[in-house]
Structures are given as structure tokens and as C-alpha cells.
């Protein structure tokens, strides 16, 4: 308990140190244009660079203190770095005037580190610093004690399922974060504490970078157009490391941005741990670190194994629960925007140890907030997977300015996933071998035109075997998937309605068993 209280005292002091930074560090002006900044780092090709903001940073490692100055390009990277509070290992100070980082010294940035011996920050006199530091300090300590007590009660009363999802689930493939005897925080504890830091889904950004640099890559478990997925280890815990190719930086950045969304965390959304841009073997690597699920994707699992009716329903209902959570907007100051996936398929759904599903790969996601009616489609030009594309995407009639249109595309694709699960579900001892949607209508690697002809012109749908209609559960699934496949997008069910229908089918199965 004492250690947890000390942790919260440190957090509040960290917030105070962020608040007490010199005002000059965030002076507006020129933020929209290209600033001229001093560039003092091994990456600099010249003594000056141009960007949206200038920065000065320190990083404390085993090799000592690294001090760098340079520029940040683009509003997204600026927000990502400049809004991050200092940690005990790293700190960054941003400013927005020409050459405003020229006179920033290493000691001035070191003063931002919570655990560093603090000199007098630039821009404050001794009297001002004493007033700022000593005045609120007593009040902050009292607040820290109150916050520790309140947070302790909150954690004891919070739903058990959140703790279970943090400590028992894995990420793209295995054992989730579990306790170790190292004496340091485990990933589960770090994620638990991150609720106090304002983080939406993963860890505070600078902590993410620290975790990323401590991961050892163990084995490559998958490859795709985006890059590779590795099983890694951090302090004895398995994690999944998705390494994006350099040409796919937009997907990496978008996925990082979406995973850091407030209130995104859900038992049926892949657990996000950290994201980092790191340099290894003289090349830049883009890392996304998540929970690890040893069963791999739903696509892989269904090829290896068939499921009984109860397992198939559990997989379908859990995946629908994740999609419904993505699509839902949570209103409020700390709310969550509505999110549409845009590339839903069995390869982007992972199977947990308990044989439930969680949705992954959010690099093409779009968001929408009712408050400002803003539709954020990101800047990734890629589209989804052709085999799972809805008719309105294939014939290019989709209303791209309407967020609901993207949700309806997700529902179409989810109908395809339902069909894949149904094929591998036993009924009267019979089950079909795994096949992808439209396996009998288009080539193995269909073109856009192949799919457009089959879905839009011929209005074909995946083949439904006769034996499904003789099984009450599979027959109900057929009816549900067909309601996801209407040619008219507005006639399709919502993700929430799909989830409730699957829950109802599951309930009927339980009643039949009891009777």
C-alpha cells in the first residue's frame, strides 16, 4: 500500500512539474508555419532544420545523458511528443518561435525530470520558483494522500473483468501480462496505473518508449503486407511486437493514434501496451506492442480446428461485442469517439486462450464525434481487403462523408466472418473444411473487378450448405448473416443488434440444453 501511495505522490508531483514549466516553452506563434530550429543531434545533416515546432530533449540511459535539439514536423507528431509529461528517463521541451531552442541548455531540460536534482528552471527567478514549488507542495502532498486512498477504493471496487483482461489475456498470440518477481512494475500494473495519467488505452507515451527499448524479440510468428509480427519478452512476459515496414508509416501512426483513444480498452479489442519508433541495425523500425495470443488469428485457428456450436457462438458473440464497442460513441469530457474499422476480416480478429475473440489491426480506422460532427479518416490511402468489401465500396457509391456508411461496411464484413465460423462449426458430426468467402466465385487472389462483378453485378453471396438449415443454431446464424449482406447498406443490422441477436441465440442454446 505504501508503495502505491508513493506512486501516486510521484504522479501528482509529475503533473505539478509539467504545470510549472516556463511559459515560454509553449508560446504560440508560428505553429502553423515552418519554424527555423537549431538542430543538434546525430541525425541532423545541417545545423538548422525546419518544422512545426522546435524541441529540446534529454534521455537518461545506461550510457549517460543524451541531449538533443531539433524540430518536429506535422501537427500529429507535435501533439504526440509535446503533450507528453516528463518521466524519470526522458523529457522534452517544445517551443514555437524561430530558433527558440537555441539557448535551451541541457540542465534546463534535465530540470523537468521528476527524479532529477532540480536546478532553477530557465525563466524563473529564485523567489518565483520558491513561491511556485513550496507554496503548493503541502497541498499537493495532501491531495496525493487523498488520491491514493480514493484510487485504492476505486481499484478494489472496479469490475473484476478489467483486472482479468489485463492479467490473463495475451496480445497477438499468448500468455498475457503476469506478475514477476523482479520487483519492478509488471505490464499489468503499469496499465492499471495509467488510468491516473490520462492515458486512453496504453501507457503514457514516454513510458511506452522505455518499455519498447527493454523488449527482446524471440521469434517471428507472422508476416504480411504491413511487415512482421514477433513474439517478444519484457521482464519475462510475452508480448506481441508488430513491426511495420517503413513504407507503412501512416498505418503505424494511425494505429498508434487509435489505440491511444480514451476509453477504447475493452475485453474484445486487442490489448495495446506501447508504440515506438526505434532504430535497430542502422534502420528505423516502427513498433506496435500489444498483448500476445498464442492461438493467433481467427483465420489461422479455423484452418487448424473445427468448433462445436457453443464455441462458435462464443467466438461470434465476442467479436460482435468488440465491433459494437468500436462503433459506439461515449459522450462526455473523457468520452470516446465512434470508430469504424474499415478492414474487418478473420485475419484481423485474434483468438484468446479462452476461445473468445478480440479485434485488432486498426490502421485503416475512421473516427467520428457528434460534438463537432468531425469525420477523421486519417491520411492512409489504402482501402480494405477486396474479398470482404461491401457492394458500395466495390462500385464506389459509398457516401464517404457519412460516418454511418463506414459502420455498414464493417457489418457487411462481419457477416463474412460469421459465415467462416459457421463453416467450421460441427452439426450432427458434420463440418466443412475451411474456405474463404466467395471461394467458389472468384480466383484465389481476386482483383477489384472480379469482386465487383460477383458482388455488385451478379449479386452473389457466400455459399450456404443445406445441412445448416437442419440445425437450429446454424439456421439462426444464416438468417443473421443474410441481414448483414443486404445490397442496400441502410437495410443492414447495426453491430449492436448483431451482438444482441447472437446473445439471444446463445440463450436459446442454454434453454434447449436445460430442457
**Residues forming the active site:** 343
Report CA torsion sign: 396, 401, 404, 410: positive
Going from the C-alpha of 491 to that of each of 326, 393, 399, 409, 483, the distances in angstroms are: 20, 16, 15, 12, 8
What is the DSSP code (8-state) at residue 347?
G
In DSSP notation, 7-65 reads HHHHHHHHHHHHHTS-GGGG--SSTTS-EEEE-BSTT-SSSEEEESEEEEEEEEETTEE
Between CA 332 and CA 183, with CA 86 as vertex, the angle to 5 degrees is: 95
Question: How many Cα atoms are found within 13 Å in the side-chain-facing hemisphere of 405?
Answer: 12
Distance CA(381)–CA(415), nearest Å, equals: 25
* φ, ψ at 392 (rounded to 5°): -70, -20
Q: Are 81 and 93 in contact (CB under 8 A)?
A: no
Answer yes or no: are the C-beta atoms of 378 and 350 closer than 8 Å: no
Pairwise CA distance, residues 182 & 165, whole Å: 22
Reading the block at residue 405, the C-alpha cell is 456508411
Q: What residues contact residue 167 under an 8 Å CB cut-off, 6+ apart?
A: 176, 177, 178, 179, 188
Cell for 379? 491520411
Amino acid at each position: 500500500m505504501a508503495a502505491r501511495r508513493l506512486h501516486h505522490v510521484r504522479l501528482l508531483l509529475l503533473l505539478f512539474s509539467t504545470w510549472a514549466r516556463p511559459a515560454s516553452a509553449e508560446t504560440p506563434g508560428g505553429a502553423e508555419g515552418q519554424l527555423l530550429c537549431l538542430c543538434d543531434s546525430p541525425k541532423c545533416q545541417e545545423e538548422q532544420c525546419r518544422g512545426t515546432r522546435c524541441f529540446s530533449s534529454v534521455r537518461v540511459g545506461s550510457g549517460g545523458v543524451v541531449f538533443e535539439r531539433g524540430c518536429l514536423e506535422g501537427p500529429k507528431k507535435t501533439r504526440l511528443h509535446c503533450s507528453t509529461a516528463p518521466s524519470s528517463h526522458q523529457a522534452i521541451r517544445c517551443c514555437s518561435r524561430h530558433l527558440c531552442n537555441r539557448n535551451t541548455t541541457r540542465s534546463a531540460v534535465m530540470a523537468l525530470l521528476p527524479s532529477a536534482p532540480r536546478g532553477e528552471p530557465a525563466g524563473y527567478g529564485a523567489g518565483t520558483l520558491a513561491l511556485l514549488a513550496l507554496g503548493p507542495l503541502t497541498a499537493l502532498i495532501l491531495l496525493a494522500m487523498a488520491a491514493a486512498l480514493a484510487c485504492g477504493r476505486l481499484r478494489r471496487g472496479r469490475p473484476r473483468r478489467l483486472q482479468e483482461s489485463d492479467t490473463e489475456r495475451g496480445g497477438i498470440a499468448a500468455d498475457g501480462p503476469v506478475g514477476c518477481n523482479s520487483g519492478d512494475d509488471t505490464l499489468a500494473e503499469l496499465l492499471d496505473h495509467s488510468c491516473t495519467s490520462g492515458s486512453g488505452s496504453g501507457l503514457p507515451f514516454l513510458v511506452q518508449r522505455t518499455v519498447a527499448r527493454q523488449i527482446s524479440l524471440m521469434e517471428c510468428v507472422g508476416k504480411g503486407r504491413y511487415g512482421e509480427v514477433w513474439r517478444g519478452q519484457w521482464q519475462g512476459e510475452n508480448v506481441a511486437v508488430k513491426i511495420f515496414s517503413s513504407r507503412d508509416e501512416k498505418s503505424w501512426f494511425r494505429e498508434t493514434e487509435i489505440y491511444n483513444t480514451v476509453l477504447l480498452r475493452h475485453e474484445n479489442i486487442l490489448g495495446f501496451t506501447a508504440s515506438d519508433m526505434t532504430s535497430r541495425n542502422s534502420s528505423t523500425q516502427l513498433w506496435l506492442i500489444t498483448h500476445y495470443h498464442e492461438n493467433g488469428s481467427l483465420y489461422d485457428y479455423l484452418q487448424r480446428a473445427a468448433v462445436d456450436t457453443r464455441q462458435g457462438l462464443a467466438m461470434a458473440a465476442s467479436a460482435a461485442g468488440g465491433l459494437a464497442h468500436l462503433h459506439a460513441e461515449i459522450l462526455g469530457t473523457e468520452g470516446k469517439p465512434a470508430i469504424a474499422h474499415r478492414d474487418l476480416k478473420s485475419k484481423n480478429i485474434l483468438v484468446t486462450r479462452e476461445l473468445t475473440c478480440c479485434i485488432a489491426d486498426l490502421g485503416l480506422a475512421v473516427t467520428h464525434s457528434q460534438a463537432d460532427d468531425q469525420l477523421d479518416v486519417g491520411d492512409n490511402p489504402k482501402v480494405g481487403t477486396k474479398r470482404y468489401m461491401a457492394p458500395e465500396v466495390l462500385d464506389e457509391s459509398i457516401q464517404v462523408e457519412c460516418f454511418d456508411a463506414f459502420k455498414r461496411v464493417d457489418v457487411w464484413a462481419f457477416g463474412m466472418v460469421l459465415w467462416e465460423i459457421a463453416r467450421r462449426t460441427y452439426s450432427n458430426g458434420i463440418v466443412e473444411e475451411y474456405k474463404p468467402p466467395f471461394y467458389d466465385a472468384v480466383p484465389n487472389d481476386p482483383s477489384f473487378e472480379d469482386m465487383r462483378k460477383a458482388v455488385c453485378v451478379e449479386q452473389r453471396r457466400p455459399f450456404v450448405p443445406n445441412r445448416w438449415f437442419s440445425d437450429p443454431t446454424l439456421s439462426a446464424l444464416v438468417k443473421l448473416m443474410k441481414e448483414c449482406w443486404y445490397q442496400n447498406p441502410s437495410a443492414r443490422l447495426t453491430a449492436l443488434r448483431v451482438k444482441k441477436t447472437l446473445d439471444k441465440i446463445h440463450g436459446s442454446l442454454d434453454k434447449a440444453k436445460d430442457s
